[in-house]
Each structure stands twice: as C-alpha cells, then as structure tokens.
Structure 1
C-alpha cells in the first residue's frame, strides 16, 4: 500500500510544473468542493482566454462557450441534440468506426504513422460532421486546420509572432474558401441537422460562421487529439493496464479513459468571474469583479478530493469514492463540456482498434510541450510501427 501511495503515473506533471501559471490576482481554488461550487454558481460568469473579445457582442452570434445566463441556456438547449447518447449511436459511431478503420488500414499498409496526425484526422472527421463541414474530406481539411490552430495558439513573440500571424491569415483564408464556404453554400440550398444550418437560420454572417467553426475545431478536435495520444502513451507503457483495457467491456474501458484524463487533464485551469458580489457556503464572500482560478491539477491531485494515492491510475477510484468518474475533467455546471461523451466514444473506438493492430508498438514516445496561452500540454511526434499488411 505504501508503494502504491508513492506511485506517480503522471506523464505531464513535470512540464506542467514548469509552465503552469495562474493569474496572480485571481483567487485559487484547489478543492473539489470549492471548485464545484464555483462552476455551478449562477452568480459567476465564464472567464478565460477569449472571453474579453466577445463582450458586448450580439448573443446570437457569440460562440456558446462565452455566453452566460439565459442566452447561454437557450443556445445550449439548441445544440444539445448534437451530443446525446442517441446521436452518438445513430450518427457518429459509424463515422468513428469507418474513419478509424481507414486510418489503421493506412497504418498497416505503410507499417508506420505519426499518432498525433492520425488522431487529429479522426477528431476532424467527427467534429466536422457535427458542425456541417462535410463538403471536403477530413484528410484534406486536417492539415489546413492543423496549421491554422497551431499558429492561433502559438506562444511566439517578435518576428515569430509576425510569422505566425501571416501563416494564420493564409491558412484562415484557405480554410474558409476550401472548407467553410462550400459547406455554407450547400446548407443554404439544403439545410441539415448541424451547427452551420443553425447559424444560417439565425442570420449569421460568413465571418460569424467561420468563428463558430473555429471555436468547435478548438474544443472538439484539438483537445480530443491530445487525449487520444495521452491514453495511447499510458497504455503502451503499462502492459497490465493495456490488457485490462482490451479485456474489459465498454464501461470498464470508459473507466480507464476517465481515470487517465483525471490524472492528465487537458485543461489545467478554468476561470470564473463574479459579476456582482455573492455569498456561497463553500466559497464564502465573493466580491463583485473577483476572479476565481480553478486549479484542476491540484483538485485532481488532492487525496481529500479524489481519494488515496491521487497520482496513481486506479480505474475503481470514482466508484469507490462515490464520485463522477470524470471529476472536473470536463468542467461542471452550466458550462460543462457539451461534447464530452463524443470525445470519450471516439477515443475508446480508436484506442481499442489501435491496440489490436498486429505488431503495434509505440516506437517513439511523444514530445510533450506546454502551451502557455491555453495552459495545456501538447503531444507531438509519437511514432507508431506495426506489422505491414
């Protein structure tokens, strides 16, 4: 038990310790009780990167992630049907399975692949269907989005910042003309059951639709890519956990995925801001304008919050502690991630099939990089090899 208590299975801890920073003026929350209270409070507003850029905008044309109150509730209700278990089973599961099969067939044909690239292509295929970006293939769209998103969240300064701005402009125009505009034209003529069709029905401008596409790309593609690569890294490095995953049913596999995500949260901090002063049993007095920083790594590493041996992978942890298995990995309250179940199912589908590829090995572990703008890790250049078909 003592050895288990000292076990630390985290792969992102060192890079996070070096790069993680909180707003020095924000009040840090590090317990599950305080953090849940903040995320569920109707008196606290969404805050964080990008929120200041949308203040005062038309609520109908502001990405749902930055809204609060009734406007947020209405928009969440309008998109809820895209993320239900029924939608996953009837609409997205086929896309997940067919895209995974195609990517792994390509892997077997060549005998090698870069894990982050094929994982990103899978997430593009799924998210593009939700958004309505279906007039171009995911394999063509993914490289454009890759460059666009990489430069959008680049920490570069000076000439590097100018270079990234130019690249972002070029790829932004390319993404719009090659992927967004054809989808918009098709949806104008034949509305579908997707985000772009909803935007057109509400009179969004082309620019507003492009912003909406980019918002969903960031939330639905980038974070899930990192999750897939991190899960694969853990399972390749831990034969016992890998066997447990492959032998388990869907519920057992989901428990392992969620426990890895608890240990390695993609988002490390969530911010909330008090519009007006309030008093909360867990938070105490919160003056108007105060900023709260929810330190997810601290919450998920607190034995009082998540149970004993918080840095060890334990798929039974949540059940034993009587907690939701995701803890705060997908947030909580009104801004709880709407696509969390989609991300879990596409990760489970891909990882399950990847680990069954004959001769599959992680020939090179990923480089782990810290993104100071997003307060998140990035995993790049993981190399897969397998027996060639």
Structure 2
C-alpha cells in the first residue's frame, strides 16, 4: 500500500487557482510505495545521489542491458556528471541569449503574424511549432520538414503508454509505438546524422557523434530531448496564456513588467502549474540513509512541494504576481526538478515562453474562444492541453 511521507495534502483548500491539480491524481507509469508530502522531503530525495531514476520508463529501459548506451536522463553518478558537463554548454544563459534569443524572436514573429492574418488559431498548435523549432535547433534536428517533425513528436508523446492486459491490444499498441519511433528516426534523426557526419555543427547530435554514439543511441537521446524540451514547454505556454487570458489583472501585470519581472511571473505560474507533476526515484535495496525505505519506489510529488506553505508562504495554491520567495526555494519551486537531474533547459523554456507570450498578449482583440481540453499523460506524468481556440480582431 502506498504511504505518504508526512505533509499536508495540498488539494481541496480555499483559494485554489490551479487548473491542473485534479488531473494529476492519475499518476504515472510507476506504482510508488511512498509519496513525498512537502518541499523538504521532495528535495531531499532529488538531491540524494544514491537514489536512481525510476520514471519515464527508466527502469524498463535499464533492463535492456549494456548493448546500448543509456540516454543522459537515465545515467547516474560519474557517467551522468561527465555527460551533463559536456552538454551543459548548449543551455547556459549566455548561449541562450547569444545563440537562440534571435531565433525565438523570429519564430514568434512568424507565428503571431500568421495568426493575425488568419484571425483564428489553436494556441496549442502555435506553441508546439515554437517549442519544436527552438529545441530542434539546439538538438540538431534541422534536416527535415519542421511541420512533419512537430506532427511526429506530437503523435508519439500523446500515445497510450499504459500496460494492457489484453495480449492482442498490447501487441497492436507495441507495433504502433515502434512505427512511430521508426518514422521519427528515418524522417528526422537519420537525415540529421548524415548531414553532421559530412559537416559538424554546434549542436547535441554533433556532440553525440563525436562521442561515438550510434544511430539507435542518438535516436534515444533525441526522444528524451523531445519530451523534455518540446512537449513540456508547449504545455506550459498554453497554461500560462490560459491563466492570463482569463484574468486581466495577471495579463496586465505580465505586460507591465520588465523581462526579469515577466520571467518571475512565469515562474510563479509554473510553481502553481508544474507541467511534470511527479518525479519517480528508486531507493537502492542497500540504502539506509534516504527519507524512504530501502528498495522503495518514491513518487516525488512536485505539486505538494510547490504548495508547501513553509516554503512559499500564505496562499500557496493561489497565483500571486510578485510573490516573495527565498532563493533557497526558487520562484518555480521544484518544477524543473532538483539535484543532479535538474532540467538543464529551464532557461530556454522560460525565455521562449516569455518572448512568445509577450507578443501574443499584445495582439489587438485577442480572445480565448474555447478553453483547452485538459488530459493527463502518464509517461511524462504531466498535463496536456488541447484545442485551445483563440481569435483576434
């Protein structure tokens, strides 16, 4: 039976501005033994260097063995530190500003101009195109049709990853998943590899080729970066716009702030609505120093951590522009994770969200005609927002 580590339940409080909290009860692909209950417990698990990744199919992938290298998301210890250090340069604030900011502005201009011309659109489609385009330049997936790449990743990450007891259904789902992976490889990954073998570029795929990664290993890394850098950013942009289009005072506060203030407000939104609701870790059987029993699968409850009154003060389930938060906890809480596996692309996600939303929210007559449909993705353990219809004058 699952146990919750001490901490108050964050649900069903007065003054709750969260739109996605109820969906998170669906959980993920791991059946946890314990669940963290507050910020301190969650961060202690994430910073414990002895626990291991368990979510995002990490344990299933780990059973493949040494025939293929593990993607950086699943690496631990020294192997993870070496690879993380080698790829960190693609995500530093300076690189984001000097290499990718101009791209973010240009892409946002194109998407907003198209929307203004057509007068109607779907916010989730616009955010998908933006997130895929930015991440594909960082990763190196630039040698295929961008719209086709976005479509293939969208289909893959919104697939059904649940285990099916019916063998026929399970087989069909397996074949469909394999087809999607192969389609992504042959249409997007393989052309990128061929181009970079001819001429190296300053991106992740070129780095992986330098390190001797084969096609299958590069494919796996691209899928991980796809989930981390494309799918999650897409959802957050829609969620942030949803809040601001329904609450004029939040929109006004965002547009009136300088860039630092805009980022701070986006972090407050992300604290309240973390795209990834749970991070799973496995405590080794021989580990006795963790805040969980040896061998336990731990669900690090990001939502509970991010609404811990001890960390974030009064009204923790409300959106409070200008909320004063100690640097000890960070404005976004644990929405980007913590410890060695903290998301390296945090700066990228916040920067592109800020640039795009600043332009979108200034479109004359902008309206949210239909709120997005909210569902839950058990693989990412996060919400998905679809069919958010917008229009303008």
TM-score (norm 1): 0.90
Alpha-carbon spacing, 1:218–1:237, altered in 2? closer, same or farther (3 Å)? same
SS of residue matched to 1:279: coil
Per the alignment, residue 50 of structure 2 pairs with 43
RMSD: 2.3
Alpha-carbon spacing, 1:321–1:69, altered in 2? closer, same or farther (3 Å)? closer
Per the alignment, residue 99 of structure 2 pairs with 91
d(CA) in 2 for partners of 1:174 and 1:22?
Answer: 24
How far residue 360 of structure 1 moved from its aligned partner, in angstroms, is: 1.2
TM-score (norm 2): 0.89
How far residue 155 of structure 1 moved from its aligned partner, in angstroms, is: 7.7
d(CA) in 1 for partners of 2:328 and 2:62?
Answer: 39
d(CA) in 1 for partners of 2:31 and 2:107?
Answer: 44
How far residue 302 of structure 1 moved from its aligned partner, in angstroms, is: 2.5
Per the alignment, residue 175 of structure 1 pairs with 184
Task: Spell out the pairing of 1:8-47 with structure 2 (5 A cutoff).
Answer: 8-17=16-25, 19-20=26-27, 26-47=33-54
Per the alignment, residue 278 of structure 1 pairs with 288
Q: Is the 8 A contact 2:253 2:321 kept in 1?
A: no
Per the alignment, residue 109 of structure 2 pairs with 101
d(CA) in 2 for partners of 1:98 and 1:115?
Answer: 18
d(CA) in 2 for partners of 1:143 and 1:278?
Answer: 46
CA displacement, residues 203-225 of structure 1 (integer Å, 9 cap, x when unaligned): 22211111111111011100111
How far residue 107 of structure 1 moved from its aligned partner, in angstroms, is: 0.7
SS of residue matched to 1:66: coil
Q: Is 1:376 matched up with 2:382?
A: yes
Per the alignment, residue 350 of structure 1 pairs with 356
How far residue 161 of structure 1 moved from its aligned partner, in angstroms, is: 5.4
d(CA) in 2 for partners of 1:242 and 1:140?
Answer: 33
d(CA) in 2 for partners of 1:322 and 1:187?
Answer: 42
CA displacement, residues 42-62 of structure 1 (integer Å, 9 cap, x when unaligned): 222222231113326449821
SS of residue matched to 1:272: strand
Per the alignment, residue 216 of structure 2 pairs with 207
Q: Note the residue ranges of structure 1 that are not aligned, 5 or more in a row.
A: none
How far residue 80 of structure 1 moved from its aligned partner, in angstroms, is: 0.4
How far residue 310 of structure 1 moved from its aligned partner, in angstroms, is: 1.0
How far residue 129 of structure 1 moved from its aligned partner, in angstroms, is: 0.8
How far residue 372 of structure 1 moved from its aligned partner, in angstroms, is: 3.2
How far residue 30 of structure 1 moved from its aligned partner, in angstroms, is: 1.2
Per the alignment, residue 71 of structure 1 pairs with 79
Q: Is the 8 A contact 1:369 1:378 kept in 2?
A: yes
Q: Note the residue ranges of structure 2 that are not aligned, 5 or more in a row.
A: 1-12
How far residue 111 of structure 1 moved from its aligned partner, in angstroms, is: 0.8
**Higher helix proportion:** 1
CA displacement, residues 283-337 of structure 1 (integer Å, 9 cap, x when unaligned): 3xx5432222211111222222321111111133343686311211111111111
How far residue 167 of structure 1 moved from its aligned partner, in angstroms, is: 4.0
How far residue 13 of structure 1 moved from its aligned partner, in angstroms, is: 2.1
Q: How many residues align?
A: 378
CA displacement, residues 330-368 of structure 1 (integer Å, 9 cap, x when unaligned): 111111111111111111111111101122111111000
Q: Is the 8 A contact 1:48 1:271 kept in 2?
A: yes
Q: Is 1:231 matched up with 2:247?
A: no
Q: Is the 8 A contact 1:155 1:372 kept in 2?
A: no
d(CA) in 2 for partners of 1:195 and 1:303?
Answer: 39
SS of residue matched to 1:255: helix
d(CA) in 1 for partners of 2:308 and 2:157?
Answer: 33
Q: Is the 8 A contact 1:366 1:383 kept in 2?
A: yes
Name which of 246, 256, 259 aligns with 1:250: 259
Per the alignment, residue 335 of structure 2 pairs with 329
